[in-house]
Amino acid sequence: MENILKDIRYAVRMLARNPGFSLIAVLALALGIGANSAIFSVVNAVLLNPLPYREPDRLAMIYHKYPDINLMDASLSPPSYVEYRDMTASFERVAVGAGWGVNLTGAGEPERLQGARLSASFLSTLGVEPALGRNFIPEEEQPGKNNVVILSHGLWQRQFGGDQGILGKTITLDGNGYEVVGVMPPGFSFFREVDIWSPVAFTPEQLAADNHGNENLLGIARLKQGVSLAQAQSEMDSLADQLRQQFYRNTNWGISLVGMREQLVGDIQPALLILLAAVGCVLLIACANVANLLLARAASRQKEISIRAALGATRLRVIRQLLTESLLLAALGGVIGLALAYGGVKLLIAGIPPDIAQFIPGWKSIGIDSRVLLFTLAASMLTGIIFGVIPAIKTSKADLNETLKEGGRGAASGSRSHALLNLFVVAEVAISLVLLIGAGLLVRSFINLQEVKPGFNPQGVLTMQMSLPQSKYRERFQQAAFFDEALRKISSLPGVQSAGVVDNVPMGGNNSQASFMIEGLEIAPGQSSPHGDRHLASPDYFKAIGISLIRGRFFSHQDTADSLPVAIIDETLAERYWPGEDPIGKRMGAFFDRVDGKVRIREIVGVVSHVKQYGLDGTSRVQYYFPVAQRPQSAMFLVVRTSSEPSSMVASVRSAIQSIDSDQPIFSVKTMEAIVSGSMAQKRFATFLLGIFAIVAMLLASIGIYGVMSYSVSQRTHEIGIRMALGASAQDVLRLIVGRGMLLAVTGVVLGLVAAFWATSVMSSLLFGVTATDVTTFIAIPMALAAVASVASYLPARRATRVDPMAALRCE
């Protein structure tokens, strides 16, 4: 122990004596370790921490799938919920839930709440209990008995000041009274932030066998102890075979189970792992740089090491001393790195908009916890060993006799040391090339993404949501009248060019799909009906959002509840079902749109541009629109195109709404540009981070080349002097040094290209409009890196050309 303390004391002294070296090494390591700890803290919170539900590995999502229309995650219908709950043996519990938006009034400022209707067993299926009060009970799943709610901790605090006596009190939602029976613990969420939960209650009609097509429920299940997901899937496949015969005769419909972790983190996992690998590479490059610094410094320490050896220090003992110094450097790097990670984590959290982050499980718990501290400690120690061990072994292998002689040169200037220095530089270049190519591909993807035409014009558009309470606007004509009046008032506001309503705005995260039929189109046995994005829109919605008319007309104010039912389709639907034909005047209907139980047939009056509903890189489905006047609903998005800055219109739009109904809140106020930008946030952030890491890697690699070339020049001063004395020109010397630097760089580039071909294949899922082996990227990036390497070699080479031959020769 005493010897270890001595080693540490000596190491501290050595580092203090070489502040420049120590500072550079510690900063390089701090950068590498800090970046790793920051990214690891995200990986830890999102991927490693257990989901906040009891035994989460036993939880699964239940989806319906329609493979022939590539719809693999359709929701469940009320009767299928009952079937899975009652007819399966693999599950301990099956539960369903659905979105629920309500206006809270009577508790201060009216507030629009995001809520969910849950089957009584939903929370117990997840394995969570209210912190205050009780869970829902099965009796509350019946219509008329379900006016009870559980509040989120946030809502309880925000609207009710954390009132401990809240249980049993009645609150007003959409004008109806609901008894508060529970309050959830802080931090509880499932999929997204929700303020309030209430039991779902199905009417006999909803549970009837002919309602199998009404799929709007999110299904979850808890597997019985000892039952695997595969076993449960097998049972569901058998059940699907039975049900298909009875209720889905014309389709290849099926049921799929998805593990809860896969469901929640499956999308973000590849990006996080790639980022973790990228920062790992940055740390490796930092290690190589510090190792090179240590190797170069070894030359000046040969004598000291030889003295120690001459006095009886074994090689192991010398290595221990040198490793103590490396570990001390790494520990210092780790401490500063941790501080950098703390700041980095804050930046990471700030980098993703909250309305996207809420869908990333664990996002809120990202921070420096004990596991991150342990990771940082391990990373620091491992780093210290990685960059320290080779220089230590090399340095400890001194030629004692030669080194201890007066004027002995020491072994570090030998060819083996150079070989090691060169090896590290080649590795640095190779690793940084892999990162640069990865970042290059992501940047190209991002550029491609930005060039994608969304099918509408988001500039100058303001959007907001409104949901009319059933208590006040129970009848559809009331709902239609409210929106008509609102649009009339908003359209007349100064600065408003056009205004419309739609059920879901593009890229807003809410989508509705539905199967439809086309008059005259026969569906073969075993095939599903056509399926697409369905929209309800007002006449001016298309102008307001900037969707172009390709053929026919937009909806007009003459398209009323009493007029001919009409529809507008997008260009992709037209192309798929009427290729080469004019679809205007053709007829279609949607299964959700029925009158007296029959599908309402509509005449197609217009064809519009296709809209990227699910994001610029999202899956595309065919789209169709019905006039909202012919099928009104209570919750709509208001879309306003303005001639001025859209955000400046919020107040006047709000007062226009409140002049019709002062209790009517508006919410989710956003510009369309913000929505489009938000849809790319995750990709933009991943691209930005990988870009930063790649640039840091390239800088470190360049510093590495510069360092090795500088060291080489200092070691070869005598040789250069001789060459110049013998007649070598400055150009000859320049060529000699830059040539050597470029040889290293090119070797690194070749190895890096091989590694990049393999490495980029794992990031295919993150790319858009560019292949993982994109030729342009694979040519341009190596050339850029070679150019940087040539500059890094040129600077020391230029110094070499200024060597005074006489001075250099006198040195000997």
Partner 1 sequence: MSVNNSLIRLEGVKKIFYTDEIETHALSGVHVEIGKGEFVSIAGPSGCGKSTLLAILGLLDTPTAGDYLLGGKTVSDLKPAERARIRNREIGFIFQSFNLIGDLNVFENVELPLTYRGMKASERRERVEEALEKVGMAHRARHLPSQLSGGQQQRVAVARAVAGDPLILLADEPTGNLDSANGEAVIQLLSELHTQGATICMVTHDGRYARFAERTIHLFDGRVVEEKAKVA
Give the residues lining the site for partner 1 (CB under 8 A): 2-3, 6, 10, 13-14, 17, 303-304, 306-317, 400-401, 404-406
- Helix segments in 452-521, DSSP class H: 476-491
Query: Quick one: 318 or 332, whose CB is closer to partner 1?
Result: 318
- Ramachandran region, residue 168 (left: φ > 0; alpha: ψ -120 to 50; beta: rest): left
Query: Which residues contact residue 396 at a Cβ distance below 8 angstroms, ignoring those fewer than 6 apart?
Result: 305, 309, 315, 318, 319, 322
Distance in Å, CB of 7 to partner 1, minimum:
10
Q: Which two tokens stand for residue 341?
A: 């990670």
Instruction: State how far the alpha carbon of 506 is from the alpha carbons of 341, 592, 616, 635, 701, in Å.
Output: 36, 21, 10, 16, 44
Query: Quick one: 2 or 451, whose CB is closer to partner 1?
Result: 2
Query: Which residues contact residue 641 at a Cβ distance below 8 angstroms, ignoring those fewer than 6 apart?
Result: 460, 461, 496, 497, 498, 499, 543, 544, 545, 546
Report yes or no: 641 and 461 within 8 Å, Cβ to Cβ.
yes
Residue 635 CB-density burial (10 A; 0-12 exposed, 13-18 middle, 19+ buried) = middle
Report yes or no: 305 and 396 within 8 Å, Cβ to Cβ.
yes
Query: Quick one: 20 or 312, whose CB is closer to partner 1?
Result: 312
Query: Quick one: 2 or 522, whose CB is closer to partner 1?
Result: 2
Positions of E strands within 67-167: 71-74, 91-105, 111-118, 132-133, 148-151
Question: By three-state DSSP, how is residue 780 classified?
Answer: helix
Distance in Å, CB of 756 to partner 1, minimum:
41
Query: Quick one: 452 or 722, whose CB is closer to partner 1?
Result: 722
Question: By three-state DSSP, how is residue 165 classified?
Answer: coil
State how far the Cα of 609 lies from the Cα of 612, in Å rounded to an integer: 10
Distance in Å, CB of 394 to partner 1, minimum:
15
Query: Quick one: 305 or 461, whose CB is closer to partner 1?
Result: 305
Query: Quick one: 11 or 74, whose CB is closer to partner 1?
Result: 11
Instruction: State how far the alpha carbon of 620 is from the alpha carbons of 54, 548, 610, in Å.
Output: 37, 18, 9
Query: Quick one: 3 or 643, whose CB is closer to partner 1?
Result: 3
State how far the Cα of 290 lies from the Cα of 386, in Å rounded to an integer: 10
Distance in Å, CB of 383 to partner 1, minimum:
24
Query: Quick one: 308 or 740, whose CB is closer to partner 1?
Result: 308
Query: Quick one: 11 or 200, whose CB is closer to partner 1?
Result: 11
Question: By three-state DSSP, how is residue 98 classified?
Answer: strand
Report yes or no: 606 and 571 within 8 Å, Cβ to Cβ.
no
Query: Quick one: 311 or 726, whose CB is closer to partner 1?
Result: 311
Q: Which two tokens stand for residue 365?
A: 């718990």
Distance in Å, CB of 302 to partner 1, minimum:
12
Residue type, 373: L
State how far the Cα of 394 lies from the Cα of 581, in Å rounded to an integer: 78
Report yes or no: 429 and 701 within 8 Å, Cβ to Cβ.
yes
Distance in Å, CB of 333 to partner 1, minimum:
22
Distance in Å, CB of 313 to partner 1, minimum:
5
Query: Quick one: 113 or 298, whose CB is closer to partner 1?
Result: 298
Distance in Å, CB of 10 to partner 1, minimum:
7
Query: Quick one: 418 or 610, whose CB is closer to partner 1?
Result: 418
Q: How many CB atoms lie within 10 A of CB 481?
A: 15
State how far the Cα of 283 lies from the Cα of 379, in Å rounded to an integer: 9
State how far the Cα of 40 lies from the Cα of 38, in Å rounded to an integer: 5
State how far the Cα of 658 lies from the Cα of 188, in Å rounded to an integer: 34
- Ramachandran region, residue 666 (left: φ > 0; alpha: ψ -120 to 50; beta: rest): beta
Distance in Å, CB of 393 to partner 1, minimum:
13
Distance in Å, CB of 47 to partner 1, minimum:
46
DSSP class of residue 618 equals S
Distance in Å, CB of 691 to partner 1, minimum:
43
φ and ψ at residue 170, rounded to 5 degrees: -105, 135
Report yes or no: 323 and 391 within 8 Å, Cβ to Cβ.
no
Distance in Å, CB of 400 to partner 1, minimum:
4
Query: Quick one: 25 or 398, whose CB is closer to partner 1?
Result: 398
Query: Quick one: 258 or 400, whose CB is closer to partner 1?
Result: 400
Distance in Å, CB of 11 to partner 1, minimum:
10
State how far the Cα of 235 lies from the Cα of 257, in Å rounded to an integer: 11
Question: By three-state DSSP, how is residue 496 classified?
Answer: strand
Long-range CB contact pairs, 15-21, < 8 A, 24+? 15/325, 15/328, 15/329, 15/332, 18/297, 21/293, 21/297
Distance in Å, CB of 320 to partner 1, minimum:
11
Number of helices and strands (H, E) in the chain? 24, 24
Distance in Å, CB of 314 to partner 1, minimum:
4
Distance in Å, CB of 6 to partner 1, minimum:
7
Query: Quick one: 302 or 801, whose CB is closer to partner 1?
Result: 302
